[in-house]
């Protein structure tokens, strides 16, 4: 096989946030002890943070044990791919005012759950890369 000669472009922070705000589906990672856990989630991004809706479970437990988290969104087509990664600290919203504000955000959960909680990730670092793929020949490997 041949390597594709993809052109890799670092995205600016503004470009990253534009992609984050346009998306609604990403993956959330937390380390529980030495064990990484990864979860697909629906989210909303705004004002330097990521809002995630969840039920009781490992995600909440993980954030309680260790608030350092990573969050990722990506997409790809035959001609290009991009990914944006957010690193930051997560906290479970506890105050009625914050929860009420989060409730107003249209966050579609994947499943009805008996109890809804919200996790907010305050972004400390946002990085992104765009990969523009090469020739038609190389696209045969897509």
User: Rule CB under 8 A: which residues touch a second copy?
Assistant: 1, 3-6, 8, 25, 27, 29-31, 33-40, 66, 68-72, 74, 76, 81, 83, 85, 87, 106-112, 131, 141-142
**Least distance (Å) between residue 36 CB and a second copy:** 4
β pairing state of 25-32 and 68-76: antiparallel
- Residue among 18 and 29 whose Cβ is closer to a second copy: 29
**Least distance (Å) between residue 10 CB and a second copy:** 12
- Residue among 37 and 98 whose Cβ is closer to a second copy: 37
List b or e across 4-19, with b for residues whose CB sees 16 or more CB atoms inside 10 angstroms.
beeeeeebeeebbbeb
Alpha-carbon gap, residue 115 to 64, rounded angstroms: 17
Alpha-carbon gap, residue 58 to 108, rounded angstroms: 19
- Residue among 10 and 21 whose Cβ is closer to a second copy: 10
């Amino acid at each position: 096989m041949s390597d594709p000669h993809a052109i890799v472009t670092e995205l600016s922070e503004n470009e990253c946030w534009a992609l984050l705000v346009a998306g609604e589906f990403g993956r959330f990672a937390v380390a529980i002890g030495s064990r990484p856990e990864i979860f697909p989630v629906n989210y909303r991004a705004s004002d330097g943070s990521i809002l995630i809706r969840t039920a009781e479970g490992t995600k909440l437990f993980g954030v309680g044990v260790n608030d350092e988290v990573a969050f990722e969104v990506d997409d790809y087509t035959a001609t290009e791919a991009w990914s944006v990664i957010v690193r930051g600290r997560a906290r479970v919203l506890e105050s009625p005012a914050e929860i009420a504000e989060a409730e107003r955000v249209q966050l579609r959960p994947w499943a009805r759950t008996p109890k809804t909680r919200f996790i907010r990730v305050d972004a400390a670092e946002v990085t992104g890369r765009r990969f523009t793929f090469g020739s038609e020949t190389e696209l045969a490997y897509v």
